[in-house]
Structure 1
Amino acid sequence: MRYTNRLSMDYRRLVSKLMPSWKREAEVKKIEGYKVHGHPFSTNTRRVLAVLLEKGLLYEPITVDLKSGEHKSESFLSLNPFGQVPVFEDENVKLLEPSHNTSIAYLHSARGTQLLSLESEETLATLTMWMEIEAHQFDPFASRLTWEQVIKPLDGLETDHTVVEENEAGLEQVLNVYEKRLGESRFLACNTFTLVDLHHLPNIQYLLETPTKGLLENRPRVRMWVDEITG
């Protein structure tokens, strides 16, 4: 079960609109005690939602009002002392980003899309390496570009085009590495879709709606990869 068009559309419907409850009828049911405390515009929240969709798992979504500072309230800090979303709850276990995605993918490895490369130590090591690359090389630039070009305008704030130019220059260097890697492998970690590729989805789907999409489209292998993971 790959990241199919159906799941992709379902995912986009769920998180692409400002919905105070971000709930769908099927997801309101409490299944296996899963809860996601987050916000539909948060890229980190979107990552865990994408994992749950890939695995076909239902959950109870609990909106954290970031504008009002709810994530810094005493009640939320009891869930996450760092005041960040999302928090994933599995009955009495509370997991903070990004540990919950790996945990969900491992716990439900036999269900839905196989998001981890467990065939050998080598493939698992490669996946771990690319998870680190996404977190420390790709995400800092991509998240700032998303913030400036998408999130700030939604809040009525002006985009800082100097910041955009600086971060596009950084992202270009990262994408040059990706272009080379994708000449060796169909996806970033291996020849199958994994958690590594999924973690790129929230920022990429945002950036495809901005002028920054040109950086993704003018590299042939990156463009093919983006087309495949976004369905």
Structure 2
Amino acid sequence: MAAIKVHGTPFSTASARVLATLYEKEVEFEFVPVDMKAGEHKKESFLSINPFGQVPGFEHGDLKLFESRAITKYVANEYAEKGTDLVCGDSKKKAIIGLWMEVEAHQFDPVTSKLTWELAVKPMYGMATDKAVVEENEAKLAKVLDVYESRLAKSKYLGCESFTLVDLHHLPNVHYLMGTEIKKLFDSRPHVSAWIADITARPAWSKVLAMQKQQ
């Protein structure tokens, strides 16, 4: 049995981030499905891993972690010699990666999470999309992607010249939004479009999508 356990659902953007990282690092793990519809993420057994009652929860021996980006950083550093190098180089390169990780967390994720909810998740449950929220966040995302387009004109990936955690962290929301009207914002920026085609074609991400189909 794998020493690592991931508690969650592959449909969760945060869980998918962690799963993609483990696949990139070629690390064995046990996936423990959490039935969120049944409220399993609010039960005491799960709250002992993630006290906020949100997926994912992560266990490695006696270490318990939550918050997907903290987990991906741990995996990338703990298994630095395995699989894909997701942290890239010397201290200056790591600083640049850290910078763009902050951009993803504070600029990209807030707007894309709202758009994912309105355009991808709500329709699944027969809920009405709030067009005002979509319009507001579409404009915000356009500004973020203008910055990305400029960056990606100079660098193949956001953090450095190779695929890192920075790029990986974008995958879950990008995946959902590429199936919505927001796809036009990515497609209309050639460097962003090429970057998305590259990162979404990675074998590790394909394994996460395969997990979704099995659920």
SS at match of 1:177: helix
Structure 2 residue aligned with 1:108: 79
Structure 2 residue aligned with 1:163: 133
Consecutive unaligned residues in structure 2, runs of 5 or more: 202-215
Report the Cα distance in structure 2 between the residues aligned to 1:198 and 1:167, rounded to whole angstroms.
Answer: 22
Counterpart code for 2:142: E
Report the Cα distance in structure 1 between the residues aligned to 2:157 and 2:166, rounded to whole angstroms.
Answer: 9
Give the TM-score taking structure 1 as reference length: 0.84
Counterpart code for 1:115: L
Structure 1 residue aligned with 2:63: 93
Correspondence 1:35-46 to 2 at 5 A: 35-46=5-16
The answer (yes or no) to whether the contact 2:104–2:169 under 8 Å persists in 1 is: yes
Report the Cα distance in structure 1 between the residues aligned to 2:135 and 2:190, rounded to whole angstroms.
Answer: 22
2:54 to 77, 84, 87: 84
State the shift of 1:196 in Å: 0.2
State the shift of 1:156 in Å: 2.4
Report the Cα distance in structure 2 between the residues aligned to 1:65 and 1:163, rounded to whole angstroms.
Answer: 29
1:216 to 165, 168, 186: 186
SS at match of 2:162: coil
How many corresponding residue pairs?
A: 200
Q: Deviations over 1:89-117 (max 9, x none)?
A: 10111111221101101111111111002
Report the Cα distance in structure 2 between the residues aligned to 1:105 and 1:217, rounded to whole angstroms.
Answer: 30
Report the Cα distance in structure 1 between the residues aligned to 2:103 and 2:134, rounded to whole angstroms.
Answer: 21
Report the Cα distance in structure 2 between the residues aligned to 1:165 and 1:77, rounded to whole angstroms.
Answer: 36
Consecutive unaligned residues in structure 1, runs of 5 or more: 1-29
Correspondence 1:1-231 to 2 at 5 A: 30-31=1-2, 33-97=3-67, 98-117=69-88, 119-231=89-201
State the shift of 1:78 in Å: 1.2
State the shift of 1:67 in Å: 2.3
The answer (yes or no) to whether the contact 2:122–2:128 under 8 Å persists in 1 is: yes
Report the Cα distance in structure 1 between the residues aligned to 2:39 and 2:119, rounded to whole angstroms.
Answer: 22
SS at match of 2:159: coil
Give the TM-score taking structure 2 as reference length: 0.90
State the shift of 1:51 in Å: 0.5
- Root-mean-square deviation (Å): 1.1
Q: Which moved more, 1:189-198 or 1:73-82?
A: 73-82
